[in-house]
Amino acid sequence: MPELPEVETTVRYLRPRLAGKTIKDFWADRDKVVRQAGGILGFKKEVKNKKIVKVYRRAKFIVIDISGDKSIFIHQKISGHLLYGKWQFKNGLWEAKSGPLKDDPENKYIRALFHLNNGYQFALCDLRRFGKIVLVKDKDISNLREIRDLGPEPLEIDLKDFKNLFKDKRGRLKQVLMDPFFIVGIGNIYSDEILWKAGLHPLTRVENLDNKDLGKIFKYSKEVLEKAVKLQGSSTDDYRLPSGEKGEYQNVHNAYHETGKKCRKKDGGVIERLKVGGRSAHFCPVHQVLK
């Protein structure tokens, strides 16, 4: 599933390309994609000829504010990613005209597509079909079930408030960092990378952390996430930029999917993998301390 760096990269790419444009038409391959009363036709009626005012992110969700009192709320889910370019409908499928949008097989699963007044389109590509697009009243966005109880943004919180999150908190460190109601946007990939840098074992109990440990987690959360945004995310699986290209952060992973490789700290460790709460954790058994 796309994590904070992938969603932030998507928003930064789309924002200047979508803002000010008008939605001229909409297509989806089935009603389930839009989760809307009236299905595809009802959704199309609501968004057609509306101008895109702004594009922004909250946690792993993308919000496209359109003229009027509503916004388009997009959750890409496990395998979804948004694309921007030009397609033509051919033999019952949308086919991109050129480049990675056409050539990369991960970009061929077009489930929904918005036509813009500049001749371009943006689309939801989603192999597993879990992604969803919902039209929401602007005043209701902060009260959406997916958003209302979320934790703070890791790139916006300060050290004092970050440390306060851990007061009276219990549990395994990796699971806590991945909990969106604790702090948003840190999933499987970046929890591994943050803990590798912080020198903390994924099974560490958060109630055993001291101030120095919390300072390290805070520092490296920002460092890892900011670098991942700069490198436009990790394309280890389905994720692609809206251009159809891959991100580059997977090329500098220190722990995630590095099982069996020598630790880059050159401490004699070899990256291992274990299960934490049903998810994989990758770590160095030498320098990542279990507390």
Which residues are catalytic, by number?
A: 2-3, 60, 279
Token couple for 206: 């958060």
272: β partners: 283
From first CA to last CA, the distance across the chain in angstroms is: 29
Distance CA(28)–CA(36), nearest Å, equals: 12
Element holding 175 (H helix, E strand): helix 173-177
CB 244 within 8 A of CB 86: no
Question: ∠ CA(243), CA(227), CA(211), 5° rounding?
Answer: 145
Cβ neighbors of 182 (< 8 A, separation 6 or more) are 151, 165, 169, 176
Distance CA(25)–CA(47), nearest Å, equals: 8
Helical packing angle, 188-198 and 211-230, nearest 10°: 130
Distance CA(118)–CA(21), nearest Å, equals: 7
Token couple for 33: 């994609």
User: Torsion angle, CA of 218/220/223/224, rounded to 10 degrees?
Assistant: -120
Helical packing angle, 211-230 and 4-18, nearest 10°: 40
